[in-house]
Amino acid sequence: MRNNIVHKAKGFTLIELLVVIAIIALLMAVLMPVLQKVRKQAKAIICQSHLHQWAIVFEMYAGQNDGFFWSGDFVRDGWEQYCWTEPLRPYYSSEEEVRFCPTATKIRADGARDPFAAWGPVRQTGQNSGSYGMNNWICNPLPDIEFIHSREATKDNWRSVYVDNAANIPLLLDCAYVEGKPYVLDPPPEYDGDISTYGVSALQMKRFCLNRHSGYVNCVFLDFSVRKIDLKQLWTFKWHRSYDVNGMWTKAGGVQPGDWPQWMRRFKDY
């Protein structure tokens, strides 16, 4: 008579299971920061891709208008000739995604927190919203207009693409609002996510000084090139004709590392 041999399936012991779980947890701890970094890098690349598309749109507009921009005069010409979203409307797709940096796709009104909040919708333009904003010193008011908003001298405007050192003039970039007009004395944000309001004309660099890409923002310049800008580097560009690129918030102007808000001190100095 043949003996029947029964083989028992051997299971994992509790210790073996704990070891496997510990190894998985260790691998996750090692890989998660790497994955997060890759995800951030991917969003920054997509952001730059969107801005390359905007560079083409701006170039098309300038090419069909003898190199000049719109008036920027809200009082006389309304929103249609004030801010970039409307004059450029015939030149860009209605596809909403291209107006947003991938790190800031939810609008502030829906609970998004700065610096990762988008602006809009803007009442004058219906449902427009986005997270890029224009350097609004770039516009072409009529010759008899001395000031926009009764305080912004039009002699400082960049009116066309035909200027020297266009690669040093910001055009469109990551922004907390649809536009901004920085002044050389504008201070940095007091904390990460501190932004100005439309009622304050001397704080508008805060609109662009957004920590969306680990210490930098992406920007289209007036020569239609696209590159990233370190946050402290924002104060070194020629925002308008009278802007001092060696102002008080630059190394040439005497700023010290301790002069910056605590959250910005780890970033590169310029």
Q: What is the pLDDT of residues 170-225, one digit of tens each?
A: 999 999 999 999 999 999 999 999 998 766 777 999 999 999 999 999 999 999 99
Q: How far is CA 22 from CA 17, 33, 224, in A?
A: 9, 18, 52
3-state secondary structure 204-248: HHHHCCCCCCCCEEEEEECCCCEEEEEHHHHHHCCCCCCCCCCCC
Q: Are strands 132-135 and 179-180 parallel, antiparallel or unpaired?
A: parallel
Q: How far is CA 198 from CA 30, 143, 172, 177, 179, in A?
A: 44, 26, 18, 9, 10
**Helix (H/G/I), strand (E/B), else coil: 10:** coil
Residues 16-34, mean pLDDT to the nearest whole number: 72
Block residue for tokens 């009529």: 142
Residues 152-178, mean pLDDT to the nearest whole number: 96
**28: part of which helix (H) or strand (E)?**
helix 14-64
Region of poorest pLDDT, from 24-28, 30-34, 156-160: 30-34
User: Rounded to whole angstroms, how far apart are CA atoms 78 and 73?
Assistant: 7
**What is the structure's pLDDT at 170?**
98
Could you tell me the end-to-end alpha-carbon distance of the chain, in angstroms, rounded to an integer? 92
Domain boundaries, the chain: 38-264
State pLDDT tens for residues 27-48.
777 766 656 666 777 899 999 9
User: Rounded to whole angstroms, how far apart are CA atoms 49 and 29?
Assistant: 31
**What is the structure's pLDDT at 5?**
52
